[in-house]
Structure 1
Amino acid sequence: MSAPAVAKRIQICADDYGFDRAISQAILDGIDMGRLSATSCMVLSPAWAACAPALRDREGAADFGLHLDLSEFAPYAPGRSLQGWIAAAYLRRISLAEAAQWVGSQLDAFEAGLGRAPDYVDGHQHLHQLPVIREAVLTALQARYGRRCALRITTSRQWRGTKAAVIGALGAAALASGAARLGLAGNRDFAGVYDFSPATDYSALVRGWLKSLPDGGLLMTHPGLPGDTETRADAIRAARVREYEFWRSTESGELLAELGVQLGLCQDWR
């Protein structure tokens, strides 16, 4: 008879809350079912104002964070690709003053929508960790919240594929160092990166990620309901639906129990 799994706290975080109603409702379902313990909010989306009240109704059920958005609904650089943002940040073609304004205005919008500070900050397409942007994020969080707001760190502590390694290499170590210097908490490991391919066995991926993550780790996910979006085109809708179906299944609950996973919060990162 195998020994019971040692309990560990993993934050299971759904990105893109507020993107549209279908994504937001899927995330609310995940919180209500006890499958998700955090969600990251896109406060520049035209759907944010309508979606925010449902999170206020669930205060205490999960962590709510700012999903810093420079490349989806943001008007800052129309037409600039992900690669363009990376190049602009590393070549210092973005000023710290304008980055500070972007970060500050989105923190303002988050506070206006939920009536409080975010539990953490991360970034759409992980842009929060890029040079200049991360400096603006660190400065704003310290000035506004002291040590109370955590940060997503995208470092994978073991090999989880080339895409995950590239994401981490784009600024995770520097962000973690800056956060530690200011006393800001960050997750101890990071998983959830894959190519969104329809051939992917998502349940097998989740099993591997949850087995390998330590206490205080973070698993990123992107659930969504099927259907058209009222905001803008969603390139990964099919993958979102597959992820949603997994999290609403009995299999996911059984997997959490089997592996001794408890839903973690940012407070576990300290």
Structure 2
Amino acid sequence: MNGRIIKIIADDYGLSPTVDGAIRMLMGCEAIDGTSCMTLFPEWMAQANLLRQQASRSKTQIGLHLTLTDFRPASVWGDHEPMPKLRRFLISNLFSTLRRDKIEAELDAQLQLFIEGIGKLPDFIDGHQHVHFTPIVRRWLETRKDRLRHDNRLPWLRGAPAIALASGTRTKTKVAVVRMLANGFDRQMTAAGYVVRGPLVGFYDWGKPSKFSDVLHLIENVPPHGAVLMCHPGWVDETLIRRDRMVTARPYEFELLMRRM
């Protein structure tokens, strides 16, 4: 899209109204190639309608950002029980103590909300905090192919990251952890019939927003063909502050992405 050999995808559409507004503006300027959506918040349907209108005026792809941590679920998860923190979720995955039926019901609910809001199946699928790499979500992707297929095509998936494309010891360590989580994912999902795009790039220290410029510099000067750049642009509102710790970096990312146009 737009002659780019790397896809620029804005994560977290649906997280807050101002994040959503910033992403739609980037879509309108063709500064990004797509956005991945969190469908489990109360504002989803209203924000999905605005996204659908914006997408109809561009070629931007709309994906599903599977979410299994931190927030209240879309399904009947429990008696007002929020989903676990990432650490607990990963440990439960490691020891296979997660209830498969519970997780799959949640993923099914998020997919159904996406379809109801956007009016079609997702163009691609990825995961909040990279949960799509976990074994339980891989199994869901394998068993939901008939549900996800449209015109004999499946949504593409965001693949594993490359440590070599990260800068700084702290960031490389984080990428190495995600890389371990994603071990075998690209091969397994390709064998299942999905197109897997990657490597995934865009990791940096969010506590130092200016480091995002280093990420953009890397992909502009050494663009890895087929890579997917995850980014988190947005404006700040009370909803964002209440829901997420990544706040100050979002306006900075937005401004840098706009300047590239």
2: CA distance between counterparts of 1:176 and 1:87?
22
2: CA distance between counterparts of 1:39 and 1:216?
17
Instruction: Report the alpha carbon displacement of residue 193 of structure 1 after superposing the two structures with TM.
Output: 1.1
Instruction: Report the alpha carbon displacement of residue 90 of structure 1 after superposing the two structures with TM.
Output: 1.3
| 1:142–1:29 CA distance, 2 compared to 1 (3 A) | same
Does residue 33 (structure 1) correspond to residue 29 (structure 2)? The answer is yes
Q: Which segment is superposed worse, 26-35 or 138-147?
A: 138-147
Does residue 138 (structure 1) correspond to residue 142 (structure 2)? The answer is yes
Instruction: Report the alpha carbon displacement of residue 243 of structure 1 after superposing the two structures with TM.
Output: 0.6
2: CA distance between counterparts of 1:186 and 1:159?
18
Does residue 19 (structure 1) correspond to residue 30 (structure 2)? The answer is no
> Match of 1:240?
250
Q: Does the 8 Å CA contact 2:209/2:252 hold for their aligned counterparts? A: no
> Match of 1:228?
238
Instruction: Report the alpha carbon displacement of residue 245 of structure 1 after superposing the two structures with TM.
Output: 1.2
> Match of 1:158?
164
2: CA distance between counterparts of 1:123 and 1:199?
22
Out of 72, 77, 86, the position equivalent to 2:90 is 86
**Structure 2 letter corresponding to 1:55:** L
Q: Does the 8 Å CA contact 1:191/1:220 hold for their aligned counterparts? A: yes
Q: Which segment is superposed worse, 229-238 or 126-135?
A: 229-238
Unaligned runs of 5+ in 2: 167-171
Q: Which segment is superposed worse, 126-135 or 153-162?
A: 153-162
For residues 207-229 of structure 1, what are the alpha-carbon distances to aligned partners after superposition, in whole Å with 9 as ceiling and x for unaligned?
11343332221000000113322
Instruction: Report the alpha carbon displacement of residue 188 of structure 1 after superposing the two structures with TM.
Output: 2.8
2: CA distance between counterparts of 1:65 and 1:94?
25
Instruction: Report the alpha carbon displacement of residue 136 of structure 1 after superposing the two structures with TM.
Output: 1.2
Paired residue secondary structure (1:232): helix
2: CA distance between counterparts of 1:138 and 1:211?
36
**Structure 1 letter corresponding to 2:250:** R
> Match of 1:262?
none
Q: Does the 8 Å CA contact 2:70/2:86 hold for their aligned counterparts? A: no
> Match of 1:66?
64
Instruction: Write the mapping of 1:78-117 to structure 2, written as runs, cut at 5 A.
Output: 78=82, 80-117=84-121
Q: Does the 8 Å CA contact 1:56/1:114 hold for their aligned counterparts? A: yes
Does residue 47 (structure 1) correspond to residue 43 (structure 2)? The answer is yes
**Structure 2 letter corresponding to 1:121:** I
> Match of 1:267?
none
**Structure 2 letter corresponding to 1:168:** R
Q: Does the 8 Å CA contact 1:159/1:165 hold for their aligned counterparts? A: no
| 1:79–1:54 CA distance, 2 compared to 1 (3 A) | closer
Paired residue secondary structure (2:71): coil
Corresponding residue pairs, total: 244
| CA RMSD between the two structures | 2.0
2: CA distance between counterparts of 1:166 and 1:101?
27
> Match of 1:256?
none
Q: Does the 8 Å CA contact 1:69/1:124 hold for their aligned counterparts? A: yes
Instruction: Report the alpha carbon displacement of residue 104 of structure 1 after superposing the two structures with TM.
Output: 1.2
Q: Does the 8 Å CA contact 1:20/1:231 hold for their aligned counterparts? A: no
Q: Does the 8 Å CA contact 2:62/2:124 hold for their aligned counterparts? A: yes
Instruction: Report the alpha carbon displacement of residue 43 of structure 1 after superposing the two structures with TM.
Output: 0.3
Q: Does the 8 Å CA contact 2:13/2:38 hold for their aligned counterparts? A: yes
Q: Does the 8 Å CA contact 1:141/1:149 hold for their aligned counterparts? A: no
2: CA distance between counterparts of 1:96 and 1:236?
30
Q: Which segment is superposed worse, 210-219 or 49-58?
A: 210-219
Instruction: Report the alpha carbon displacement of residue 199 of structure 1 after superposing the two structures with TM.
Output: 6.0
Q: Which segment is superposed worse, 70-79 or 238-247?
A: 70-79
Q: Which segment is superposed worse, 100-109 or 33-42?
A: 100-109
Poorly superposed stretches of 4+, deviation over 4 Å: none
Instruction: Report the alpha carbon displacement of residue 203 of structure 1 after superposing the two structures with TM.
Output: 1.5
TM-score of the two chains, using structure 1 as the length reference? 0.83
Paired residue secondary structure (1:184): coil
Greater length-normalized contact order (CA 8 Å, ≥ 6 residues apart): 1
**Structure 1 letter corresponding to 2:25:** D
Identical counterparts, % of pairs: 30
For residues 181-209 of structure 1, what are the alpha-carbon distances to aligned partners after superposition, in whole Å with 9 as ceiling and x for unaligned?
12200113110011202364321221113
Unaligned runs of 5+ in 1: 1-6, 254-270
